[in-house]
Chains A and B, each alone.
Chain A
Amino acid sequence: MSRSINLVYFAWVRERLGLDQEMISLRDEVETIGDVVAILKARGAAYAEVLSDSEKLRFALDQDYATVGSTIGSAKELAIFPPVTGG
């Protein structure tokens, strides 16, 4: 059985991936945000480069801040973006 999650990207993450969102299916063994990042990085050079330094990335699960170690659970949306710079 597999579940799927919508990935949304913002700012330079979106620009450098050339994509603002995509749906991916997750195998049962995928537990954390870090697991998803690893899957994405294995997809090719663009992903590997953009996601190379998780210190420069922020994550949100269903619109709440989360960390690389956070469990995906039944979340429907994972956002990946740079540190915020509003105001």
Chain B
Amino acid sequence: MIKIEVGPADFDVGRETQYVAGHGGGAIASFVGQVRDDSNLETLELEHYPAMTQKALEEIAETARSDWSLHAVTIIHRIGKLSVGENIVLVVTGSDHREAAIESCSFIMDRLKTVAPFWKKETRADGATKWIEERESDLAAAEKWKK
């Protein structure tokens, strides 16, 4: 089972974890990404390419399901204006064993960061805005799964 959601609405980590757990297994891994309290950050605005986002996230989830034995995968990504401490992204994976759950969750996040068409723009307290640039460390993290 694969569940993908992209939109402005927040998510409930407990409920989403229960939802994945409900599909069997007994090993549930999750990752939550939130807006970091960087110096003077006022808001983070997330833009995406609607026609491509769903497809890109589904492909990532399908790859995870073919590489690991998973019962369920949930990926939720928010868009719009977010403040410090707010949720941005949630990945939950469910399997029979923890290695598969944890590794696939990590893989999905690494792929998502380098492939899914989202962009972040930060606004500082003084009103200055800046588009966030891609990080070499994210590219390296995604690269390590290629075999």
- Name A's B-contacting residues (CB within 8 A): 8, 10-12, 60, 63, 65, 77, 79, 81-87
Q: In residues 27-51 of chain B, which contact A (Cβ within 8 Å)?
A: 33, 46-49, 51
B contact residues vs A (CB 8 Å cutoff): 33, 46-49, 51-52, 55-56, 77, 88-89, 109, 112-121, 131-134, 138
CB pair B88 A84 closer than 8 Å? no
Interface of B is mostly: mixed
A83-B113 contact, Cβ under 8 Å, with A10-B119, A11-B47, A60-B52: no
8 A–B pairs (Cβ distance < 8 Å), ordered by A: A10-B119, A11-B119, A60-B49, A84-B113, A85-B119, A86-B112, A86-B116, A87-B109
For residue B132, which residues in chain A have a CB less than 8 angstroms away from its CB?
85
| A-B pair number, CB within 8 angstroms | 70
B55: contacting residue among A10, A63, A85, CB under 8 A: A63
Report the Cα distance A13→B30, complex, angstroms: 33
Q: Is the CB of B117 within 8 A of A10?
A: yes
Docked CA distance A87–B90 (Å) = 9
Determine the chain B residues whose CB is within 8 A of the CB of A65 once the complex forms.
115
Using Cβ atoms and an 8 Å threshold, which residues of chain A touch B46? 86
A63:B133 contact, CB within 8 angstroms:
no
* B52 and A84 contact, CB distance less than 8 A: no
Q: How far is the CA of A81 from the CA of B133 in the complex (A)?
A: 12
Task: Answer whether A87 and B52 are a contact pair too, CB < 8 Å, given A10-B47, A11-B131.
Answer: no
A67 smallest CB distance to B (angstroms): 14
**Which 7 A-B pairs rank lowest in CB-CB distance, beginning with the nearest?**
A86-B118, A11-B119, A83-B134, A63-B52, A87-B113, A85-B132, A12-B131
Kindly provide the distance from the CB of A54 to the nearest chain B CB, expressed in whole angstroms. 15
Across the interface, name the chain A residue whose C-beta is closest to B31. A87
Residue of A nearest to B52 (CB): A63
Quick one: closest B residue to A9, CB to CB? B49
Say yes or no: B131 contacts A84, CB within 8 Å.
Answer: no
Is A87 in contact with B116, judged by CB distance below 8 angstroms?
Answer: yes
Q: Contact at B119–A84, with CB atoms within 8 Å?
A: yes
Please give the distance in Å from A77's CB to the nearest CB on chain B: 7
